[in-house]
Structure 1
Amino acid sequence: MPTFEIGERDFLLDGRPFQVISGALHYFRVHPDQWADRIRKARLMGLNTIETYVAWNFHAPGPDEFDLTGRRDLGRFLDLVAAEGLHAIVRPGPYICAEWDGGGLPAWLFAGRSAEGGAGVRRHDPAFLEAIGSYFAHLLPVVAERQVTRGGPVLLVQVENEYGAYPGVPADERTRYLRALVDLTRAHGIDVPLFTSDQADDEHLSLGGLPELHRTANFGSRSLERLAVLRRHQPTGPLMCTEFWDGWFDSWGLEHHVTAPEATAQDLDDLLGAGASVNLYMFHGGTNLGLTNGANDKGTYLPITTSYDYDAPLSEHGAPTAKFHALRAVIAKHGPVPDEVPVEPGPAPELDVVLDRRVPLDGVLDLVAGRSSRTSSAAPPTMDDLRQWSGFALYGTRVEVDDAVLVADEVRDRALVALDGDPVGVLDRTTHAWSVPLPRRAGTLTLLVEDRGRVNYGPRIGEPKGVVGSVRTATRELTDWEAVPLRLDAAPALLGDDVWRDADADADAAPVAGPSFHRGTFDTVPGADHFLRLDGWTRGLVWVNGELLGRYSSQGPTGTCYVPGPLVRAVGNELVVLELHGAAAPRARFVAAPELGPTEA
């Protein structure tokens, strides 16, 4: 029977020292038809292990749902890792951060708790532990049967994630919570070593672990210094950097982050030369497809971009980068590396698409809104009250001639304000814009509110979305609200062919006004990756053949949307854009290469 153990100084695979040289590859950020390609390229860079988080909310979008099929087939992903001759590390959370919506914690966990989320989350709270128990009962058997002790690839399983950085939990409760997670993990058949990972400083390492769990550290520079800090907290056993940050994520409105391959390579060389194990975060970042991006809020709310390229060794579309070759050369100094090198992909197909059909959002509300979920109330409900865990909701009420100005306590995260369908202004969490002037006329006021991604790090995890608090005018507090969640993520399927057949036709050079859906078709090279530019468009969502690629924004930095090749066929491809503001013309362009935006000077 194969074994994997923690020795006095090394990991021991079947009793022999084993240096883990791993790379992070999140199956939920990569099209499943591309999993095998990305895993193979990890082996060609010299990695011997693949690490993945598991995003709880990806598998459990509702409290009575759990899906392990298709894009959520973790078992198939781990089997592909094994087929490539690699090992695996699984990090099931329950909290993962990962710049993912809510840090992977399902939003429904917080329903019915306090207005600012559940104090019991990430604590020794009976309701939270019961929910984790159900999650683990569905998930961990898939991992357990693929452990190295049963002939599979899984060497290690993580308990929680960077728990030392989570504020406000007393030390004794931290210990009880972590021990409860250990018990739940072991109860579902996990017998490989368990570990924790925390940022490489004394405070986080001391707060985030247990004596019986193997401590590892997260850092991206000054490797020897950080390993020395880790050794103070893990006196025996192998040293490991579980997140060796070889790049960084991007936020809308900021620059595209890059790091120098040479500096990263030197830090990796120092780490491996010291005999430590490593997991590159990320080896391949992928894409925040759909509405899955998270956000950070340290005084300014900053949602994460659709692209999760991360400036990783393998780019968003699976191409080896200069960093790939630099790190491969370092790994070759410390262990075997295959002779084969991944081929560079050629240019993507280039073509223009005219989106010649237009449907105003307000003309199809009945199709994209669930009538049974409409809510009438004196005060505006949150989106969580509507059980709308991501996306959009539409709020409506009446205003009078003398109301003059609209002021909201808070909107999470952005609202398009209209009066009788005419745009009035924007309420925006990032810019702290909480008021807009109103025309001096009576009418129906609407707020189209967008959840731009739930906070994935820090004390604001679990906060509700939508309109939070009261909404006032110059003369009164607004009451008598109607609110309805919108299923915009599934809009192309909900609209159907009949709607498009009867839709307005747009001239290919005329400006267009939103909120509105726009549709065009195109023929191209089947199975080829594409890069979509939406120059002249402002902000919204985009689909190819019914698959929501994610959000786009003229804010940048990202200039292109990645279209995975498996989504594209030879003829009759459908491109649908939901534009929230306006566009210079209903045209889009596929270009030869990605454009991720300007970098720091």
Structure 2
Amino acid sequence: IPSHTQFKEYYKNNCFQKDGKPFQYVSGSIHYSRIPHYYWKDRLLKMYMAGLNAVQIYVPWNFHEEKRGVYNFSGDRDLENFLDLANQTGLLVILRPGPYICAEWEMGGLPAWLLQKPNIVLRSADTDYLEAVNTWMAVLLPKMRRWLYTNGGNIISVQVENEYGSYYTCDYNYMRHLRTLFQFFLGDDTVLFTTDGNTDREMTCGTLEGMYATIDFGTDVNISQAFSRQRRFEPRGPLVNSEFYTGWLDHWGDQHAQVDTQKVSRMLGEMLSMGASVNMYMFEGGTNFGYWNGADHDNRFRSVVTSYDYNAPLSEAGDPTEKLLAIRDTISKFRDIPVGPMPPATPKMAYGFVTLTMVWAYYSILYYQDPALFTAYFTTRTQHTLLPGPSLIYSILYYQDPALFTYYGFMLYRTKLPRDLPEDTPLISPLNGVHDRAYVSVCGVGASGLLERDTTLVMNLTGKQGDQVDVLVENMGRVNFGSKINDFKGLLSNLILGKDVLTDWQIYPLDIDGAIASGWPQSGQRRSLPDPVRGPSDGPVFYQGTLTTNGLAWDTFLRLNEWTKGQVWINGVNLGRYWPKRGPQQTLYIPGPLLSPTQPNNITVLELERAPPHTRVLFMDRPQLNSTSGKTSQTTDRQT
């Protein structure tokens, strides 16, 4: 290997060696999947000017292979373009290709189609799982080989799996298989490593000979004790903190997490003075656009918010913060900082209020997808009742017609009342089978109530025999961490109404994103729709409006004050979920390049519960990510 393309662990001096010389990396995590590609160069330049010499990135498998066998590496998914931009900027890359990544990302980056085999054991030597992993890595890793530092590129090291020691399987045969797979595609000279949390159990189950063992921890631990733990598993070689937490994530209902800037900069300095290589997680978090947010399930299901700001040195919108400046000052004591000013924040604009108009009820999407849906052309019926477990969706719906399958967003279940219910009658999810949140209505009028996973398992209904009952089920993001990542969605078990088990369900996957991307609901108004299609102000209802920017296309933040919960699209692009009633996040980030400076910008809102009397939204020039007072201290009972 030419001397100018060497990178390896140098055990004699307990450091990395690059091109024959000792090397210490100062890195920051950035997720290309959470940042629109037109801002990649801006973010990378700011990281470089902060004094970093490397970036660390995940590759979310499901972001590139949403449907099995269909691969997407274009636009916001153009991984090689991102690597090239990092290389042009002067940044090395620490690659974390999974197959599992966690990252507060939907199902930890694993594709939902893996669950078509309901008994699959994820992150193990299960043959069905390994077959899928082998196929994916045979696509991904050959693309990465040319970018390895030993081949003249900028990837200096590659992580195998991710924090495997925190998973219950502890399957060494699985890790051996991955090690062999990575070596086969990347070569024996590639520095492979593992990352695990700061406990003996995690380091024991997550490490394996032939892959360099690193550790991760935040500002709430003793540095010497943490690195002593790494030393027990790697007696020689560089000290490495692969995830030094500059902030933390938010769940809906949390206070906005904050980690003290002075603690971050002080501990970073202590680690660098020890000669350790450090990656800061996150350096910029970005945004969980669309349905890409993950969730946790410890005592109950908790969905991650749309913003992945993470209280990081670069904000969700990529703006430099005081934390970034403090980190740059710390780094400058150990290595030369690039000469020149820090690139400024991107310009922001407060475009003001826009009034939205109620246009269609949620079920009108069925007619847009195919008018025959109103005559049950795509109807799927069970035998008599909902089948237990995930077999309802995965066996009946998928195997009847794969085209009907949907992995994200919303599914509509429809049946009829079996008898007259003149008084409130409980509708119960006795086995906690609503995953994750169900909006229930009778005769398509308003919202009779909701059922929510782990928290709201009963509501009341009234109506007449034969009345249509709609249950609109929202997937709030699959669990991304822990033993419950086999996270099936939809109705997974029977609903009981009084003394009756509801039967004869019709099931409709709703391709809302596809319809909106093709111009609905604006184009839908030109159709002749049957009555009643226009919906009430309560319940799942679509609203629309337009924003005129008068020649500007600057970043902005959308606030839906007094709206309850739902989803927003701008010019057909899904910005993500809003839930101001629960918080803490109050605004959705809109990158300027999504907006047209000359044409009206289409705004579509699906309000799932209740819109305010004045259906206005506000475009602001700054974010509001914390609706509650006080601060939440970082906790590191789990990693990312």
TM-score bracket for this pair, using the shorter chain length: over 0.9
> Larger deviation: 362-371 or 187-196?
362-371
Counterpart in 1 of 2:532?
none
Shift of 1:587: 1.3
| Residues 258 and 599, structure 1, Cα contact 8 Å, conserved in 2 | no
Q: Is residue 2:159 matched to residue 1:138?
A: no
Instruction: Decide which moves more: 256-265 or 591-600.
Output: 591-600
Q: Which residue in 2 is equivalent to 1:448?
A: 472
Question: Do the aligned partners of 2:435 and 2:474 also contact (CA within 8 Å) in 1?
Answer: yes
Q: Tell me what 2:179 maps to.
A: 182
Q: What is the letter of the counterpart of residue 144 of structure 1?
A: R
Distance in structure 2 (CA, Å) of the matches to 1:127 and 1:515: 38
Q: Tell me the secondary structure at the aligned position of residue 134 of structure 2.
A: helix
- SS of equivalent residue, structure 2 residue 495: strand
Q: What is the match of residue 526 of structure 1? A: 552
d(CA) in 2 for partners of 1:104, 1:407: 33
SS of 1:576's equivalent? strand
More displaced stretch, 571-580 vs 444-453: 571-580
Measured after TM superposition, the shift of residue 384 of structure 1 is 4.2
Q: Deviations over 1:287-342 (max 9, x none)?
A: 00110000001011110000000000000001111110111111111111123223
Paired AA for residue 234 in structure 1? E
The residue identity in structure 2 corresponding to 1:177 is Y
2:344 corresponds to: 343
Q: Distance in 2 between matches of 1:27 and 1:562?
A: 16
| Within-5 A mapping of 1:490-529 | 490-494=514-518, 495=520, 497-500=522-525, 512-524=537-549, 525-529=551-555
1:553 Cα deviation from its structure 2 partner: 0.7
Give the total of aligned pairs: 587
Measured in 1, the distance between the counterparts of 2:299 and 2:491 equals: 19
Question: 1:382/1:304 Cα in 2 relative to 1: closer, same or farther (>3 Å)?
Answer: farther
Alpha-carbon offset, residue 527 of structure 1: 3.2
Alignment of 1:232-311 (within 5 A): 232-311=232-311
Q: Is the 8 A contact 1:26 1:53 kept in 2?
A: yes
What letter matches 1:312 in structure 2? Answer: A
* Deviation for aligned residue 1:347: 4.3
Alpha-carbon deviation of 1:357? 5.3
Find the counterpart in structure 2 of residue 577 from structure 1: 605
Query: Paired residue for 1:49, among 48, 54, 77?
Result: 54
Q: Which SS does the other structure have where 1:22 is aligned?
A: strand
In 2, Cα distance between equivalents of 1:204 and 1:405: 45
Residue 419 (structure 1) aligns with: 442
1:368 Cα deviation from its structure 2 partner? 4.3
Conserved 8 A contact 2:124-2:169: no
Aligned counterpart in structure 2 of residue 586 of structure 1, from 615, 630, 633: 615
Q: 1:407 touches 1:472 (CA, 8 Å); kept in 2?
A: yes
Q: Residue in 1 aligned with 2:126?
A: 125
Tell me the CA shift for residue 388 of structure 1: 2.2
**1:207 Cα deviation from its structure 2 partner:** 1.1
Going from structure 1 to structure 2, the CA distance change for 1:344 and 1:185 (only over 3 Å counts) comes to same
Distance in structure 1 (CA, Å) of the matches to 2:108 and 2:174: 18
CA deviation vs aligned residue, 1:443-469 (integer Å, no higher than 9, x gap): 111100001000000111012111111
Do 2:346 and 2:555's aligned partners in 1 also have CA atoms closer than 8 Å? Answer: no
Higher deviation after alignment, 285-294 or 62-71: 62-71
Aligned to 2:23: 18
Contact 1:412–1:468 (CA under 8 A) maintained in structure 2: yes
For 1:43 and 1:184, locate their aligned partners in 2 and report how far apart those are by CA, in whole Å.
32
The DSSP-based 3-state class of the residue aligned with 1:388 is coil
Query: Matched residues in 1 for 2:242 and 2:59: separation?
Result: 15
| Contact 1:357–1:520 under 8 Å retained in 2 | no
User: In 2 relative to 1, CA 587–501 (structure 1 residues): closer, same or farther, beyond 3 Å?
Assistant: farther
CA contact (8 A) 2:348 2:554 kept: no
SS at match of 1:594: coil
The amino acid of 1:564's aligned partner reads P
Superposed, which structure 2 residues align to 1:58-77 within 5 Å? 58-77=63-82
Shift of 1:363: 2.7
Q: Give 1:362 shift.
A: 2.3
Q: Which moved more, 1:186-195 or 1:296-305?
A: 186-195
* Conserved 8 A contact 1:95-1:105: yes
In 2: Cα distance, 1:553 partner to 1:496 partner: 22
Give the TM-score of the pair, scaled to structure 2. 0.88
Give the CA deviation at 1:71.
1.0
**1:406 equivalenced with 2:424 (yes/no):** no
Q: Which residue number in structure 2 is paired with residue 558 of structure 1?
A: 585
Distance 1:493 1:328 in 2: 41
The alignment partner of 1:527 has SS state of coil
Higher mean Cα deviation, 136-145 or 371-380?
A: 371-380
Q: Match for 2:218 among 204, 220, 225?
A: 220
Flag structure 1 segments of 5+ consecutive residues without an equivalent. 505-510
1-structure distance, mates of 2:244, 2:496: 48
RMSD value over aligned CA atoms?
Answer: 1.9
Range with greater deviation from structure 2 (492-501 or 155-164): 492-501
- Residues 146-185 of structure 1: matches in 2 within 5 Å? 146-169=147-170, 174-185=171-182
**Secondary structure of 2:381's partner?**
strand
SS in 2 for 1:146: coil
AA in 1 matched with 2:553: G
Shift of 1:210: 0.6
Match of 2:564 in 1: 538
Partner Cα distance (2:440, 2:335) in 1: 59
Tell me, in whole angstroms, the C-alpha distance in 1 between the residues paired with 2:378 and 2:153: 45
Counterpart CA distance in 2 for 1:531 and 1:70 is 23
With over 3 angstroms needed to count, the CA separation of the structure-2 counterparts of 1:132 and 1:233, relative to structure 1, is same
Q: In the TM superposition, what are the counterparts of 1:24-103 in structure 2 within 5 Å?
A: 24-103=29-108
Cross-structure match for 2:410: 392
Q: Aligned to 2:462, which of 436, 439, 460? A: 439
- Tell me if the contact between 1:392 and 1:449 (Cα under 8 Å) persists in the aligned partners: yes
Partner SS state of residue 75, structure 1 = helix
- CA deviations on 1:260-295 (whole Å, 9 max, x unpaired) are 100111111111111100111000000001100000
Paired position in structure 1 for 2:401: none
TM-aligned CA deviation for residue 535 of structure 1: 0.6
CA distance in 2, matches of 1:229, 1:471: 50
Q: Give the CA deviation at 1:407.
A: 1.1
Query: What letter is aligned with 2:576?
Result: G
**Structure 2: gaps of 5 or more residues:** 398-404, 530-535, 632-640
Give secondary structure in 2 for the equivalent of 1:188: helix
- CA distance, structure 2, for counterparts of residue 101 and residue 519 of structure 1: 28
Structure-2 separation of matches of 1:31 and 1:441: 50
**How far did residue 31 of structure 1 move?**
0.2
Match of residue 108 from structure 1? 113
| 8 Å Cα contact 1:392/1:451 also seen in 2 | yes
8 Å CA contact 1:223, 1:268 repeated in 2: no
- Give the superposition deviation at 1:501: 5.1
Deviation at 1:599, TM superposition (A): 5.1
Once the two structures are TM-superposed, the CA of residue 142 in structure 1 deviates from its matched residue by: 1.7
Is 1:3 the equivalent of 2:6? yes
Q: CA deviation at 1:343?
A: 2.1
How far off its partner does 1:566 sit? 1.2
Moved more, 515-524 or 73-82: 515-524
Contact conserved, 1:359 with 1:503, CA < 8 A, in 2? no
